Amino acid sequence: MGELFATYDVVGAFFMTIKLAVAATIGSLIIGTVVAVCRLSPVGVLRWLGAAYVNIVRNTPLTLITVFTMLGLHSNLGLRVADPYSPTSVVDTAFRWGVIALSVYHAAFVCEALRSGVNTVPVGQAEAARSIGLTFTQNLRYVILPQAFRGAIVPLGNTIIALTKNTTVVAVIGVAEIAYLTATMMENDPQLLVWIFLTVALGFVVLTLPIGLATTHFGRKLAVLR
């Protein structure tokens, strides 16, 4: 294992994985919250759009979405997410499209996690909020969503763990994270195959185990008492 760390930039590859996971987590939480609000909206068109987003994206392979962002949106449609004249244009483009793909895909799961959290909020609280004159937006902001996030901590944590592991998929568009480096190590040093797999597996355990422990702890601590 020491030979792998001495020969290859394993730490740098895992750091890229962490950056992908953090950026995509923020993106998926934002998009997923918007989609969840659409699904809870009293406007039928918004509910339909939210349901369509979840059903389509959730049942589409992440690899397909990732490849589509690079080959479809970037190469064919010419959409740019980085300065084409920058010396790091290729790296920045692959990273940002990878974050977009991960965010769009996992937003569907964030939405469903929040909906499960909304189900923990007593109906009487929403009715009481309406009775004192709060609008739908105010009701969501002050009453429903704060409790929904507290009730959805554990499923949201599971989604973040899945997202962290799914960062390996963006290797298909050339993002130099740990899966990309793993392919290089296996090609150059096949005699170290067992150590390569152990290193990668241990690295992901180190990344995801604290998330699981933290979400379990805060899920219990912040649970809304009934």
pLDDT of 226 over the 60 cut: no
Class for the domain spanning 2-221: mainly alpha
Instruction: Show the tokens assigned to 71.
Output: 């080959």
CA distance 20 to 36: 23
Question: What's this model's pTM, rounded to 2 decimal places?
Answer: 0.89
List the domain boundaries for the chain. 2-221
Q: Find the mean pLDDT for residues 195-201.
A: 90
Flag the least confident range among 9-23, 101-115, 130-144, 156-170: 130-144
Do the Cβ atoms of 104 and 65 come closer than 8 Å?
yes
What value does the mean pLDDT take over residues 116-130?
80
Task: Report CA 101 to chain centroid distance, whole Å.
Answer: 9
Maximum average pLDDT range among 26-40, 80-94, 172-186: 26-40
Report pLDDT digits (tens) over 44-93. Answer: 899 999 999 999 999 999 999 999 998 889 888 888 888 888 888 888 89
What's the half-sphere exposure (Cβ side, CA atoms, 13 Å) at 217? 6
Supply φ then ψ for residue 139, to 5 degrees. -60, -45
**Tokens coding 203:** 């690295």
Mean pLDDT of the chain: 88
Res. 166 pLDDT band, cuts 50 70 90: very high
> Is it the case that residue 1 has pLDDT exceeding 90?
no
Q: How far apart are CA 161 and CA 204, in angstroms?
A: 10
Q: How confident is the model at residue 225 (pLDDT cuts 50, 70, 90)?
A: low
Distances (CA, A) of 157 to 85, 168, 196, 202, 215: 38, 18, 27, 19, 6
